[in-house]
Amino acid sequence: MLILTRKTNESIIINDNIEIVVVGIEDGKVKLGIKAPKEVDIHRKEVYETIQEENRQAANSKSIDIDLLKDFFNK
Backbone region of residue 17 per phi and psi (left: phi > 0; alpha: psi in -120 to 50; beta: other values): alpha
Question: Per-residue pLDDT tens for 19-33?
Answer: 999 999 999 999 999
Question: Residue 1: what pLDDT?
Answer: 95
pLDDT band at residue 11 under the 50/70/90 scheme: very high
Question: Per-residue pLDDT tens for 62-75?
Answer: 767 777 778 888 87
Q: What gap in Å lies between CA 32 and CA 8, rounded to an integer?
A: 9
pLDDT band at residue 13 under the 50/70/90 scheme: very high
